[in-house]
Amino acid sequence: MPLVAKSNLPTFDYLRREGGRVLTSEEAQRQDIRELHIGLLNMMPDAALQATERQFFRLVGESNQIAQFFMHPFTLKELKRGAPTQEYIDTYYDSFAQLKHDGLDALIITGANVTQPDLAAEPFWEPLIEVIDWAAEHVTSILCSCLATHAVLQFRHGQHRRRLAAKRWGVYPHKVVNDLHPLVADVNSLFDVPHSRFNEIGRDQFEAAGLRVLVESDTAGVHLAVSEDLLRFVYFQGHPEYDTISLLKEYKREVKLYAQSQRTDHPPFPHNYFTLKSEAILAEYQDRMDAALAKGEPVPPFPEDHVTGSLHNTWHDTAEGVLDNWIGKVYEVTHHDRKLPFKDGIDPDDPLGLRDKI
């Protein structure tokens, strides 16, 4: 079903060029289809802000639900921005104050870059709590991505994330461990998910918080969990929204940091992502880069074009299925005026009617 371009946000034109269906406001008004209003709290740094926006917009727009999707990106003023990004935000993003007034059906919260060992010391901590506390009372379902999952587990459940011995970085196999929940209905029972993080919340911590684990990996840990009421909070630790090239772009940034002496070692290859041929090309590039740096010569161009064509996406279809299921349940139980999260007759403590079944 289509997204509705309620503004001139460049992401809408980007998705149209990809072949996605995006209606103008005038076209949307001529259709007798129910609206769903979905907020995107985008806390990503400047370099990743628009890419993350496109990734989540794309997943929502690929849903099969019969609805018009109005996307409402917003961010937190406490996050420092460069001048171009701040101008972009001022031009295209909504304010939290306006969204509180108008209401939302669902909310997606992205990850963020952190600089402190304790999330509570981050400048976004208090404003993020304000958003989530409001959403918990007024929004049918909140989907938390990676860092947002860690933040909610800390301030709502007292579960602090744990530092990993090494960065969990790559594409990992996962399995559905609770196939009765509608969020994983009719999706592959085995599928891949990209991860990129230095910390994790373990299964024992999710269970101690009274949450239900739906998808996990033997090597990457829990990916998908839900709150005790089975819908209000949905937690991702991986990044199913990633584009095929997202990990390549991240690897390229790390290589640049090495070349600029901002890291002391070559970045490792993301697990299960590059082909053997691509790894050989990149290893050869490392040698050429080291030789140039040793001689004080310019660093040779990164061989991105020689690697991109061999990348494969083994996660998007399942991500699309999970998001479709999520939006479908939000559509089913959300009150039409978006002021009360559930319809009359829906138990707010068990909106899906599944507590005795799962």
Instruction: Give the active site residues.
Output: 146, 239, 241
In sign, the C-alpha dihedral spanning 226, 152, 105, 14 is: negative
Q: How far apart are CA 275 and CA 273, in angstroms?
A: 7
Q: How far apart are CA 35 and CA 325, in angstroms?
A: 17
Contacts of 12 (CB under 8 A, 6+ apart): 3, 5, 22
Q: Residue 172: which H helix or E strand, with range?
A: strand 162-176
Residue with tokens 């005790």: 228
Tell me which amino acid residue 334 is: T
Strand order in the sheet with 68-74: 22-24, 3-5, 68-74, 35-41, 106-109, 141-145, 233-236, 221-226, 212-217, 162-176, 190-200
Residue with tokens 């997202």: 246
